[in-house]
Amino acid sequence: MSNKVRIGLIGTGRIGQVHAATVAASANAELTWVCDVFVEGAEKTAAQYGGKATNDPAAVFASGEVDAVIVASPTSTHIDLISAAIDAGVHVLCEKPIDLDINRVNSLRAKAKAANIKIALGFNRRFDQQFAEIQKRVAAGDIGNLEQVTIISRDPAPAPKAYLEVSGGIFRDMTIHDFDMARFFVPNIVEVSAVGANSFSDEIREIGDFDSVVVTLKGEGGELITIINSRHSAFGYDQRLEAFGSDGALFAENVAPTTVKLYTNKVVEARNPYMEFFLERYAFAYSNELEQFITSIESGEVLNPTFEDGRAALILADAAQESATTGKSVKVDLNK
């Protein structure tokens, strides 16, 4: 008899494929069910990675053949699927955000708090080896009292317009990862200021969104966090982080495919371009996220971002949207 955690995957789009491959590569998990409203996608994924295919999530929960589900379906389905997982007593790892509407998130909050299952949110960047090491060393006091955190996150190019139109906007779709990363270092944020611009994309302007934003967060201890986002970057996927404290600083730089550098009479320290896609850059993080989720199921420990973390990130995203629209800083209370 296998001791592997039996996992059902709901949603087989781009991120669903990442999770399917990660489960298949794990020595501690097996894919037993795959679900997508477009059943052909479920059947194709199941044929490649294992498991039974269906277009009905209820069949997954009722099967008795899953210990946990990974929710990689559209954001609008997340609340209902988390609720169904709670009812079925099945652990759940749900992609971000929980929902685009904080009222819907709040409607599930009491049920989520009372649940006897693990509810994990897919803020995978906490599991990136570079960011995780910096957070661990900050917590250990390596740079003294933390004073400032700078998070730079720029995509190589915008997502398709059809996706951006339903994404909830840059703060809820893109910056939300950085809001969670900010809270990885400074859990209690009390104030949000944000500015947005349309620097290069008329298409993004037309849908009423920003293509570039800068956000400043203030922690209850006076810590300042700066988040810099852009929907494009000519030199590849730009993912950097700096933690600055009273006794020094820690830096995470961009990742290239190799560490090889070229020296000639024309260039010095020339390297390959940075990785072009988040799946390459965060491959280890997705794998580590899954392994920590499995460990949490077995041990009962809280090792992944929680429902409350997902709620806090959305509150910060909403505050940033308000600030960028009104030009005023917004006070927040994440503990309410």
Q: Per-residue pLDDT tens for 2-50?
A: 689 999 999 999 999 999 999 999 999 999 999 999 999 999 999 999 9
CATH number of the structural domain spanning residue 43: 3.40.50.720
| Residue 275 shares a structural domain with residue 142 | yes
What are the CA-CA distances from residue 208 to residues 161, 166, 249, 331 (Å)? 12, 12, 38, 24
Tell which of 117, 136, 154 closes a domain. 117
The answer to whether the CB of 223 falls within 8 A of the CB of 148 is: yes
| Residue 94 shares a structural domain with residue 131 | no
The answer to whether the CB of 248 falls within 8 A of the CB of 241 is: no
> Is residue 273 included in any domain, yes or no?
yes
193-246 pLDDT, tens digit per residue, is 999 999 999 999 999 999 999 999 999 999 999 999 999 999 888 999 999 999
Whole-angstrom distance, CA of residue 35 vs CA of residue 28: 21
Instruction: Provide the percentage of residues in the chain whose pLDDT is more than 70.
Output: 98
| Residue 262 shares a structural domain with residue 159 | yes
Mean pLDDT of the region 60-69: 98
| Residue 153 shares a structural domain with residue 298 | yes
Q: Is the dihedral of CA 250, 255, 259, 265 positive or negative?
A: negative
| Residue 40 shares a structural domain with residue 165 | no
Mean pLDDT of the region 266-280: 75
| Residue 201 shares a structural domain with residue 317 | yes
- Domain tally for the chain? 2
Tell which of 73, 94, 117 closes a domain. 117
| Residue 107 shares a structural domain with residue 254 | no
Whole-angstrom distance, CA of residue 45 vs CA of residue 9: 10
Predicted local confidence at residue 1, as pLDDT:
36
Whole-angstrom distance, CA of residue 70 vs CA of residue 19: 8
CATH number of the structural domain spanning residue 277: 3.30.360.10
Q: Beta strand 189-197 with 212-219: parallel, antiparallel or unpaired?
A: antiparallel
For residue 88, pLDDT over 80 is answered with: yes
> Is residue 308 included in any domain, yes or no?
yes
> Is residue 336 included in any domain, yes or no?
no
Q: Is the peptide bond before 97 cis (omega within 30 degrees of 0)?
A: yes
Kindly indicate the confidence band of residue 90, based on its pLDDT and cuts at 50, 70 and 90: very high
State which H helix or E strand residue 212 sits in.
strand 212-219
The answer to whether the CB of 225 falls within 8 A of the CB of 265 is: no
The b/e string for 207-218 (b: 16+ C-beta within 10 A; e otherwise) is eebbbbbbbbbb
Q: Kindly state the tokens that stand for 278.
A: 């988040």
> Is residue 201 included in any domain, yes or no?
yes
| Residue 169 shares a structural domain with residue 109 | no
> Is residue 154 included in any domain, yes or no?
yes
| Residue 256 shares a structural domain with residue 153 | yes
| Residue 97 shares a structural domain with residue 130 | no
> Is residue 193 included in any domain, yes or no?
yes
Tell which of 82, 117, 152 closes a domain. 117
Q: Kindly state the tokens that stand for 148.
A: 């400032």
| Residue 20 shares a structural domain with residue 133 | no
Predicted local confidence at residue 2, as pLDDT:
60
| Residue 38 shares a structural domain with residue 90 | yes
> Is residue 25 included in any domain, yes or no?
yes
Predicted local confidence at residue 252, as pLDDT:
96
Predicted local confidence at residue 262, as pLDDT:
87
The model carries a pTM of 0.94
Kindly indicate the confidence band of residue 278, based on its pLDDT and cuts at 50, 70 and 90: low
> Is residue 255 included in any domain, yes or no?
yes
Domain span including residue 283: 125-331
The SS3 call for residue 82 is helix
Kindly indicate the confidence band of residue 256, based on its pLDDT and cuts at 50, 70 and 90: confident
Q: Beta strand 5-10 with 29-35: parallel, antiparallel or unpaired?
A: parallel
Whole-angstrom distance, CA of residue 145 vs CA of residue 157: 36
Query: Which residues are CB-contacts of 141 (< 8 A; sequence separation ≥ 6)?
Result: none
Mean pLDDT of the region 57-64: 98
The SS3 call for residue 159 is coil
Predicted local confidence at residue 239, as pLDDT:
94
